Amino acid sequence: MKRFLLIYLLLTVRVTFAQTAVDVDKEFAFAAKQYALMLKSHPDTTRFPQSTKPDGTPDDRKSDWWCSGFFGGSLWHIYERTKDPMWKEAANKWTMAVAKEQYNTGTHDLGFMLFCPFGNGYRLTKNEAYPPILLTGAKSLSTRFDPKVGVIKSWNKFQTYDYPVIIDNMMNLEFLFWAAKRSGNKEFYNISVTHADNTIKNHYRPDYSSYHVICYNPDGTVAAKKTAQGYADNSAWARGQAWGLYGFTVMYRETKDKKYLEQARHIADFYLNHPNLPADKVPYWDFNAANIPNEERDASAAAITSAALLELCTYGGPSAKTYYQAAVKMLESLSSPAYKANLGENNNFILKHSVGHKPAKSEVDTPIIYADYYYLEALLRYDALRKKNAFRS
């Protein structure tokens, strides 16, 4: 009897330890089914899944839209998990569909457009067709860096300003670090560091929240501090905070300079301690939006933040476990029916409830492709940490 009791107790303890807040196998099984439907509804690689129009029909975009790389990137995430050649084939097809953007010097978004699909593809397959495309793209991106200003130009014009830089631009630097390593051209590395240093100096407020748009003069001085997608110039647009957090975490990974780690931690603390962050840790689209709690949530910001925190927590420090637990809570919320679609619904996107550009009334409370991309990335990161027992107490 005693032996049976002991076995029973041991089994119970094992089951308790094996239980996780988020079931990664289940979520990837769902993602694969949902994205198989997305592939079926998108036989033609000239129409990239982006979002849903106000009338409920799919909103697709061309390869020159800043989000064109996220679908291929998401397919690589599914391939990484499933190792099924079918996903590799689909990912390669949607990756190559963006290849012509390597020559695009009219946008700063080449990190998103090229590195998400080709970077993940190369990491997973070592397909030598990809690096030349990435290196041409990195050169195109670096044409937007003017050393006199010290930052990569985001848009060609914003209001009356000729050199606007958005916080989102921090997300392009990972691409340039890869290009520096691959080519041996230190210029790509130096551009990233200079851009990041000027972003700390000019984009961040004393409380470590970020402006969205900094408009520069030709000599590198600041002409204006603005917003485009946020509630107000002096507000904290949720996705902007997420881009900055992710970007400075990557800066630390690539340089090992502690000042970037400190910056990332301060941003994380601003975000996680904000009184307007809801209990499920999926933020309102702007932390200072006027009608909180009657404002839309932005699932994309939560997905990006979760992925970023799941890297930041690996760099130790007194808040590492807090970051991990917050990231898992975000994944738990996003994986719940409140944010995750049913199979075949939501125009075959995985997550509901993101906000693209509320002031322009565009993509408000809709699925958006990059929410899916960073959600899948965060799930992969979470699973890797869980397997290492990194934060089991």
Closer residue to ligand GLY, CB minimum distance, 239 or 265: 239
d(CA 97, CA 92): 8
Contact (Cβ atoms closer than 8 angstroms) between residue 373 and residue 74: yes
Burial 38-76 (b: 16+ CB within 10 A, else e): bbeebeebebbbbbbeeeeebbbbebebbbbbbbbbbbb
Binding flag, residue 239, ligand GLY (CB under 6 A): yes
Of how many residues is the chain composed?
A: 393
- The DSSP secondary structure of 146-179, one letter per residue, reads ETTTTEE---S-BTTBS-EEEGGGGGGHHHHHHH
Say if residue 3 carries a ligand binding annotation. Answer: no
Say if residue 366 carries a ligand binding annotation. Answer: no
Q: Which of 44, 55, 162, 168 is catalytic?
A: 168
Least distance in angstroms from the C-beta of 306 to ligand GLY: 16
Least distance in angstroms from the C-beta of 319 to ligand GLY: 26
Look at the alpha carbons of 231, 236, 242, 248 in this order and tell me if their dihedral is positive or negative: positive
Say if residue 109 carries a ligand binding annotation. Answer: yes
Which residues fall within 8 angstroms of residue 197, CB to CB, at 6 or more apart? Answer: 150
d(CA 198, CA 191): 11
Closer residue to ligand GLY, CB minimum distance, 216 or 374: 374
Q: By CB under 6 A, how many residues form the interface with ligand GLY?
A: 5
Least distance in angstroms from the C-beta of 87 to ligand GLY: 26
Say if residue 239 carries a ligand binding annotation. Answer: yes
Closer residue to ligand GLY, CB minimum distance, 229 or 346: 229
Q: Which of 44, 59, 60, 109 is catalytic?
A: 109
Least distance in angstroms from the C-beta of 374 to ligand GLY: 11
Say if residue 243 carries a ligand binding annotation. Answer: yes
Least distance in angstroms from the C-beta of 199 to ligand GLY: 14
Look at the alpha carbons of 35, 37, 41, 45 in this order and tell me if their dihedral is positive or negative: positive
Which x/- pattern, by CB under 6 A, does the window 50-69 give for ligand GLY?
A: ----------------x---
| Footprint on residues 354-393 left by ligand GLY (CB under 6 A) | 356
Report residue 375 as tokens: 């959600």
Closer residue to ligand GLY, CB minimum distance, 28 or 66: 66
Closer residue to ligand GLY, CB minimum distance, 66 or 177: 66
DSSP state of 96: H
- The DSSP secondary structure of 15-69, one letter per residue, reads HHHH--SS-HHHHHHHHHHHHHHHHHH--STTSEEEEE-TTSSEEEE-TTSTTHH
| Footprint on residues 184-223 left by ligand GLY (CB under 6 A) | none
Closer residue to ligand GLY, CB minimum distance, 369 or 385: 369
| Footprint on residues 311-330 left by ligand GLY (CB under 6 A) | none
Which x/- pattern, by CB under 6 A, does the window 95-124 give for ligand GLY?
A: ------------------------------
Contact (Cβ atoms closer than 8 angstroms) between residue 159 and residue 125: no
Q: Percentages helix, strand, coil for the chain, rounded to the nearest 5?
A: 55, 10, 35
Closer residue to ligand GLY, CB minimum distance, 48 or 66: 66
Contact (Cβ atoms closer than 8 angstroms) between residue 165 and residue 152: yes
Least distance in angstroms from the C-beta of 168 to ligand GLY: 4
Binding flag, residue 297, ligand GLY (CB under 6 A): no
- The DSSP secondary structure of 299-341, one letter per residue, reads HHHHHHHHHHHHHHGGG-STTHHHHHHHHHHHHHHHTSTTTBP
Could you say which of 27, 80, 101, 168 contacts ligand GLY (CB under 6 A)? 168
Would residue 109 show up in a list of annotated catalytic residues for this protein?
Answer: yes
Q: Is 221 helix (H, G, I), strand (E, B) or coil?
A: coil
| Geometric angle at alpha carbon 139, from 128 and 244, rounded to 5° | 100
Least distance in angstroms from the C-beta of 244 to ligand GLY: 11
Would residue 146 show up in a list of annotated catalytic residues for this protein?
Answer: no
Return the active site residues. 109, 168
Q: Residues at the annotated binding site?
A: 109, 168, 227, 239, 243
Residues forming the site for ligand GLY (CB under 6 A): 66, 168, 229, 239, 356
Q: Residues at the annotated binding site for substrate?
A: 109, 168, 227, 239, 243
